């Protein structure tokens, strides 16, 4: 939300930043830190007089009608007194008693747990912060400051949709960053130069004596893929490894690239699959699952390792998280916008 009207004088090379006055009553908006208590009504501001029978705080002094000392001589208030907030009576004759009376909204006994109105210029939770200045209002559309949408459960770009346009990924329920490149998954994983019999990923994520697990995200329209790559090339030893995996829902993806068509099997009916890998010292082995175009989860267990010592999940470009052989791990993707 813009809180200033910005005017620039090119000739004088100066700019003015005036706090917004949405109702043009001469008083800066209370939602932007000004002293107007109603940013939508030009008849309510600190320069007005209390009208004593309208049920509103016309002069923005926090007191309404007969509760306002300005109304002490008004005939409609002759038998009324300021609202006391704790006696169960309608002291100020406005047909509202105690905390139901707007005069009592900031009384200690009437404070709420958090700010409930983000445009009413009232400090409902009595923390000294009003409307958009209160962190409780950070997610309110009227207080949203548009930025780049990131995967955090918030509407960062203020379009009313949470985490839209970005993929959110998780390893065992904990956020995990995908490796994003300019290639689609199959091209990123492809065989070719310099290692004819191995996946030549760019950047090169292969690791000697490790199994690397990667969530890969290509440009728009490519979908997301999950790669499992065992060992590095020309490291002096080959190896053995077995994998079992499930994909949920089963139709979300399958075996996109298998190093050898006979090594990996997948049933789209049950969503279950397995791989048995055997590789030589020259090479790597592995599989690419996908492409995933909608929400998915892949649960995998790696077993019977020989020639590899550990399992590493890549977290973005440089981060890593260690996994264990024999212990299932779950990789999930939230690819559809999360609606609040």
∠ Cα 198 259 326 (to 5°): 100
Which pLDDT value is given to residue 143? 82
Q: In a structure prediction context, what are the per-residue pLDDT tens digits for the chain, which is 340 residues long?
A: 468 777 777 776 777 777 888 899 889 888 887 888 988 999 999 999 888 887 788 999 888 887 787 887 787 777 777 888 888 888 888 778 888 887 887 788 888 888 888 888 888 888 888 888 888 887 777 887 777 877 877 777 777 777 777 789 999 999 999 999 999 999 999 887 788 778 889 899 999 999 999 999 998 888 999 999 999 988 888 999 999 999 999 999 999 999 888 899 999 999 999 999 999 999 999 999 999 999 999 999 999 999 999 999 999 887 899 999 999 999 999 887 655 5
Contact yes or no for 62/70 (Cβ under 8 A): no
Which pLDDT value is given to residue 200? 87
Structure tokens at 256: 């996109």
- Side-chain half-sphere CA neighbours of 322 within 13 A: 3
Q: Distance between the two ends of the chain, CA-based, in angstroms?
A: 20
Which pLDDT value is given to residue 337? 66
Which pLDDT value is given to residue 128? 84
Which pLDDT value is given to residue 86? 85
- Cβ of 239: how many Cβ atoms within 10 Å? 22
pTM: 0.60
Beta bridge partners of 4: 19
Note the Cα 270 to chain centre separation in Å: 33
Task: Using the Cα atoms of residue 132, residue 133, residue 135 and residue 138 in order, give the sign of their dihedral.
Answer: positive
Residues 6+ apart with CB under 8 A from 210: 231, 308, 309, 310, 311, 312
Which pLDDT value is given to residue 104? 84
């Amino acid at each position: 939300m813009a809180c200033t009207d910005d005017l620039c004088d090119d000739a004088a090379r100066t700019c003015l930043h005036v706090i917004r006055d949405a109702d043009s009553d001469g008083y800066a908006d209370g939602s932007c830190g000004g002293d107007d208590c109603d940013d939508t009504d030009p008849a309510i501001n600190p320069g007005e007089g209390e009208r004593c029978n309208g049920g509103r705080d016309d002069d923005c002094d926090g007191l309404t009608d007969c509760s306002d000392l300005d109304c002490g001589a008004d005939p409609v208030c002759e038998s009324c007194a300021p609202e006391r907030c704790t006696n169960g009576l309608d002291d100020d004759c406005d047909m509202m008693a105690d905390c139901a009376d707007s005069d009592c909204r900031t009384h200690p006994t009437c404070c709420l747990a958090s700010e409930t109105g983000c445009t009413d210029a009232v400090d409902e939770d009595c923390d000294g912060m009003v409307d958009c200045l209160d962190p409780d209002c950070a997610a309110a559309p009227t207080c949203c400051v548009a930025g780049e949408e990131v995967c955090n459960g918030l509407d960062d770009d203020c379009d009313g949709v949470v985490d839209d346009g970005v993929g959110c990924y998780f390893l065992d329920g904990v956020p995990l960053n995908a490796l994003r490149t300019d290639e689609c998954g199959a091209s990123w994983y492809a065989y070719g130069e310099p290692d004819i019999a191995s996946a030549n990923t760019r950047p090169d994520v292969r690791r000697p004596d490790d199994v690397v697990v990667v969530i890969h995200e290509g440009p728009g329209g490519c979908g997301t893929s999950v790669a499992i790559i065992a060992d590095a090339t020309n490291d002096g030893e080959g190896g053995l490894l077995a994998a079992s995996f499930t994909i949920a829902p089963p139709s979300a993806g399958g075996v996109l690239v298998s190093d050898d068509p006979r090594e990996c099997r997948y049933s789209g009916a049950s969503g279950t699959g397995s791989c048995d890998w055997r590789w030589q010292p020259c090479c790597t082995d592995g599989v690419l699952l996908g492409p995933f175009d909608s929400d998915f989860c892949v649960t995998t267990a790696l077993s019977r390792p020989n020639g590899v010592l550990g399992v590493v999940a890549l977290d973005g470009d440089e981060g890593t998280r260690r996994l264990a052989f024999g212990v299932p791990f779950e990789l999930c993707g939230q690819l559809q916008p999360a609606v609040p």
